[in-house]
Amino acid sequence: MPGRLIQTDEHRRKVLRALLWITVCGGSFFSVFNLLHDNWLLAGLEIAYASVSLFMLTIINTTPRLPLWTTIYLLPFFSIMMVGLAQTHTIFAIFAWIQTIPIICYMLLGLRLGMCGSLLFVGIGLYVFTWRFSSESLLHNLEIVTNLGLASLTVMIFAHIYERSRLINEQRLTEKATTDALTGLPNRLKLAEVFERERAQALRNGTPLALVFLDIDHFKQINDRFGHEGGDRALQHFAEVLQQRLRQSDLLCRLGGEEFAVLLPGSTPTDALEVAESLRERLASTSLEIDGKPLQMTLSAGLAHFGEDGLILSSLMLAADKRTYAAKRAGRNRVIARDESPEIEVRHQA
């Protein structure tokens, strides 16, 4: 989901910014350190990489190509680690950086790519370390590799668990923020999110898209008669009944109060009118009993069509809302698909 993607991207931007600053500072320091030890290759790589990192800091907040720049950062970052580990001028303490690979991979690449990157580069690091610091004792070499391998695996497992938990919690928060607590329906925020996706598809493929605005008739009287608890039950009944008449691709949302909306991807004006009419008929024919008293509910609806009534959600909402109030003025329990004109199209219960 886009909302979740936006949150994940922002999280990864923060992580990458922190790593870039660490790279600029660390690269500058170690380049001088390696120059003093006549390690020109590693010093040159660190100076070049620190410069690249400094440039990335100027664009990372706004670039839409975050995965590309993440890859551009990580491949040289891990490769320099391997080069440093393989250099005879360096000490074995550089292996400490290898332990950061799983954390960095999972935080910047996610679960699947994080696991692949961790296994690849940690495996290379272990091989290079064993090649450089192996002794004549097979048992001693096995002990070193086992300890380093288990330590790396432990870090990777913890990084995997953390990232998985973070994604699950992020998903739960996103769902909570985009769901109406009373009816369990998506809310206005979710409607805006899904509309942007369907809008892009409609523009790209030329497919139709319609929006239906729904308003429960005489909802204030329902509250006055049955109290707010009865009003809540009426809203839940409304949501349950209408969902039964919609396709899986359709999106029924509660906008607030007694106002709802249905987004109908792939629906022509004729299709949308038929759907709205079937919803109206379904609600009118399904009564609700509250405290042993029957409640007959009806709705008024207005339609709006992508392109004809606008290209953004606010334009469609305005047009559909206007027609809904026209339906109420005309007597309620009806659907209006066009503005009041000689070509007005109205359907209502006879």
Would you call 1 helix, strand, or coil by DSSP? coil
Surface-to-core class of residue 222, CB atoms within 10 Å of its CB (0-12 exposed, 13-18 middle, 19+ buried): buried
Q: Which residues of 81-92 are buried (b: 16+ CB within 10 A; e: fewer)?
A: bbbbbbeeebee
Note whether 17 and 183 are within 8 A (CB): no
**E strands present in the chain:** 209-216, 251-256, 259-265, 288-290, 293-295, 299-305, 334-336, 346-348
- Helix H segments across 206-250? 219-243
Q: What are phi and psi of 41, to 5 degrees?
A: -60, -55
Pairing of strands 334-336, 299-305: parallel
175 included as an active-site residue: no
DSSP letters spanning 262-279: EEEET--HHHHHHHHHHH
CA distances from 116 to 74, 81, 102, 110, 289 (A): 13, 17, 10, 10, 57
For the chain, the 3-state helix, strand and coil shares in percent, each to the nearest 5, are 65, 10, 20
> Of these residues, 175, 258, 259, 281, which one is catalytic?
258
Note whether 333 and 217 are within 8 A (CB): yes
| Token reading at 264 | 């109908």
CA distance 111 to 171: 15
CA distances from 297 to 23, 208, 244, 256, 263 (A): 64, 30, 16, 18, 22
CA distance 269 to 275: 10
Active site residues: 258
